[in-house]
């Protein structure tokens, strides 16, 4: 099979990318009152601490939008000609 081959009606699996070296999720919070944001972080703690400090500075800013970015990967499912058991 060449790189130009087309596989029609083959089954694929889609899921969180857990391959070695794959990035983990990225978290960010943004104030819905003023749209100021925490900045992206690979953990939830920094955005949460930012939100608490933001409310401390602006006591009427109490609502936040959460954005989490996760990385997905496709893989051939059993029965797909590209499937290889590990």
Beta-carbon contacts of residue 53 (< 8 Å; ≥ 6 apart): none
18 three-state secondary structure: coil
Q: Count other Cβ atoms within 10 Å, centred on residue 27.
A: 20
Residue corresponding to tokens 């857990």: 18
Q: What is the pLDDT of residues 14-73, one digit of tens each?
A: 999 999 999 999 999 999 999 999 999 999 999 999 999 999 999 999 999 999 999 999
- Pairwise CA distance, residues 80 & 44, whole Å: 38
pLDDT for 32 equals 98
The model's pTM is 0.76
């Amino acid at each position: 099979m060449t790189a130009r081959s087309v596989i029609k009606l083959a089954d694929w699996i889609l899921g969180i990318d857990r391959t070695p070296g794959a990035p983990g999720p990225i978290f960010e919070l943004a104030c819905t009152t003023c749209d100021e944001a925490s900045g992206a972080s690979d953990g939830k703690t920094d955005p949460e601490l930012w939100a608490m400090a933001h409310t401390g500075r602006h006591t009427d800013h109490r609502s936040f939008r959460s954005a989490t970015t996760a990385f997905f990967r496709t893989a051939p499912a059993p029965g797909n000609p590209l499937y290889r058991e590990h």
